[in-house]
Each structure stands twice: as C-alpha cells, then as structure tokens.
Amino acid sequence: MAIALVTGGSRGIGRATARQLAQEGYRVVVNYHRNLDAANEVVEAIQAAGGNALAICADIGDEQQVEAMFTEIDALGEPLSALVNNAGILFTQSPLEKLTAERINRVLTTNVTGYFLCCREAVKRMSHAHGGQGGAIVNVSSAASRLGAPFEYVDYAASKGAVDTLTTGLALEVAAQGIRVNCVRPGLIYTEMHADGGEPGRVDRVKDALPMRRGGQPEEVAQAIVWLLSDKASYVTGSFLELAGGR
Ligand code: NAP
C-alpha cells in the first residue's frame, strides 16, 4: 500500500485531503503539531470508513522532528509515493509596519523552511537517483502569493511566494527522477485558519466580492490535490492550480 504524507493533516484542507487520499487507497500519514485530538479524530474517521491511517506529531519547521517523522514513515516498510505540503500558519491581521522579526521568522520557518525540509526528505526517498520508485508532491500555496495580502499578512503572502518558487525549481530538478511537483493556490476557504488571523468570519465578510460570490470548502481544494497526485495528472509538473473562485 503506497504511503501519502499530509502535513497539517489534522484540520482544515489537510484533513479533507487525508480523508480523500485514504478513499483512493493510500495509507495516509496524518502529520500534526499540537492538536493530538484533532489528528486522532481524522485517523479514526478514516479507519471507520475502512481506510488506513496513522498520526505522527512533528513541527515541520524543526529539522530533527522532520527527519524523525520520515524515519518513522520508513519503518512502515512501504514506499512513500505522495507528499502534500499543507501545514501553514498566519498571525493576526496587521500592516507591514507593525511586523516584528520574531513573527516574520515564525511564519517563514513553518511555511517555507518546513516545506523545503519535507520536500528534501521526500525526494531522497522517491527519486530514481536514490533507488526510489518515483512519486508526486503537491505544495499548498495561496492566492495571497499573487495578491500580497496588504494590511493583513504580507509576511504570510511572501511565504507563499516562496512556496511557488520552490515548486518551480524543485519540479525542474526532479522531473527526470520520476517525481512530479505541483502547487495549488486556494483562495478563501472555510477553515479555522481565519480565526488565527483574528477574524473567524473573514470568508463570509468578503465572499460577495469574489467572482463566484462564495467561499470554498476544504473538500474542493482536496479534490484538486488528489487529482494532481494521481496518475491522471501524469504529464503535469511545475503547474499551479488556482482554487479561488475566479479571484
Ligand atoms: P488550519 O485549519 O489552520 O490547519 C492548519 C494545520 O496545520 C493543522 O493541522 C495544524 O496542526 C497544522 N500545523 C500548523 N503548524 C504546524 C507545524 N509547525 N508543523 C506541523 N503541522 C502544523 O489551516 P488551513 O486553512 O487548512 O490551511 C492549510 C493550508 O492551506 C495552509 O498552508 C494555508 O496557508 C493554505 N491556505 C488556506 C486558505 C484558507 O482560506 N483557509 C487559503 C489559502 C491557502 P495542529 O492543529 O496540530 O497545530
């Protein structure tokens, strides 16, 4: 059974993706950082539906914890064939002139360094150059990388710009090694992340300004991620899929 790792698989977009990947027949590793109960709920829901999943705690911004997580995955004895780099953070809405170095570095450590570290460990295992069987990676960026998130979180938007560039560069590096690397850019999706920005009802406040006049559901993002990981997307690499309702 092929293994799929979903970072931040315990809530929001990651949870929806983990559940759909389990339905596709993957053994799903649900990574989380702090909320064990949420991770266990996802694992139990997958198992109740006849799927296969386990939870692994690791802060993706911490190199040793990432390495330990991949070592734990190695011990499962099956190939890692899919990575969804999804875990991401943002902080309270604020203009750039009030951002501290501490906050900026926290955002970049999780949203950028974390993605790089998980890509590095996945490539070492998937690459034909290392005897791997190939695989696929999807990076979860954001429409914010195009829009800049002014007066809200330019630090977060910039971190997603880095994710976009990571996708382009890594896709080219590993295209001949049996690994496809793609990116999704969600817009306003109903998850708990907006509460971290200080506005739990943000999607409903701005949805009427969107071309489709509605926010997106995590499941709608998950469907695109699952497709990009699948053989149906076998000639797709270095691509960006906008999931922002036309924005
Ligand atoms: P969410 O509901 O806030 O969930 C975040 C997930 O990431 C949780 O499972 C959390 O686990 C995990 N996480 C946070 N920091 C972590 C760390 N250092 N190491 C490992 N796991 C960590 O977020 P979401 O809205 O689903 O967002 C998922 C991704 O979509 C993010 O990359 C986000 O930037 C992107 N996105 C979201 C939206 C949106 O409107 N929601 C729009 C565009 C892009 P714990 O609970 O255990 O900490």
What does the pLDDT look like over 15-62, one tens digit per residue? 999 999 999 999 999 999 999 999 999 999 999 999 999 999 999 999
How far away, in angstroms, is 100 Cα from ligand 1 center?
Answer: 21
Per-residue confidence (pLDDT) for residue 108, from 0 to 100 = 98
Ligand 1 atom with the smallest distance to the CA of 156 is 34
Ligand 1 atom with the smallest distance to the CA of 221 is 30
Ligand 1 atom with the smallest distance to the CA of 193 is 3
Cβ atoms of 3 and 29 within 8 Å: the answer is yes
Per-residue confidence (pLDDT) for residue 30, from 0 to 100 = 98
How far away, in angstroms, is 15 Cα from ligand 1 center?
Answer: 10
Cβ atoms of 4 and 226 within 8 Å: the answer is no
Global pTM value: 0.98
Q: What is the mean pLDDT of residues 79-87?
A: 98
Among protein residues, the one with the nearest Cα to ligand 1's atom 29 is 86
Query: Cα dist. 4→1, 23, 133, 189, 225 in Å?
Result: 10, 12, 14, 23, 12
Nearest-angstrom CA–CA distance, 201 and 188: 11
Instruction: Tell me the pLDDT band of 226, cut-offs 50, 70 and 90.
Output: very high
Instruction: Tell me the pLDDT band of 222, cut-offs 50, 70 and 90.
Output: very high
Instruction: Tell me the pLDDT band of 159, cut-offs 50, 70 and 90.
Output: very high
Pocket of ligand 1 (CB under 6 A): 7-8, 10-14, 31-35, 38, 59-61, 86-89, 110, 114, 140, 142, 186, 188-189, 191-193
Domain of residue 145, residue span: 3-243
Per-residue confidence (pLDDT) for residue 197, from 0 to 100 = 94
Q: What is the mean pLDDT of residues 133-154?
A: 98
Q: What is the mean pLDDT of residues 174-200?
A: 97
Percent of the chain residues topping a pLDDT of 70? 100
Pocket test for ligand 1, best of 36, 191, 225 (most atoms within 8 A of CB): 191
Cβ atoms of 203 and 215 within 8 Å: the answer is yes
Instruction: Give me the number of domains the chain comprises.
Output: 1
Per-residue confidence (pLDDT) for residue 230, from 0 to 100 = 98
Ligand 1 atom with the smallest distance to the CA of 216 is 40
- What strand order describes the sheet that includes 80-85? 52-57, 27-32, 3-6, 80-85, 135-140, 179-186, 240-243
Annotated catalytic residues are: 156
How far away, in angstroms, is 128 Cα from ligand 1 center?
Answer: 31
Q: Sort 52 into a burial class: Cβ within 10 Å, 0-12 / 13-18 / 19+.
A: middle
Cβ atoms of 54 and 26 within 8 Å: the answer is no
Q: Sort 96 into a burial class: Cβ within 10 Å, 0-12 / 13-18 / 19+.
A: middle
Instruction: Tell me the pLDDT band of 143, cut-offs 50, 70 and 90.
Output: very high
CATH number of the domain at 83, please.
Answer: 3.40.50.720
**Of the candidates 209, 206, 215, 203, which has an alpha carbon nearest to the alpha carbon of residue 245?**
215
The length of the chain, given as a count of residues = 247
Q: What is the mean pLDDT of residues 184-198?
A: 97
Per-residue confidence (pLDDT) for residue 158, from 0 to 100 = 99
Instruction: Tell me the pLDDT band of 92, cut-offs 50, 70 and 90.
Output: very high
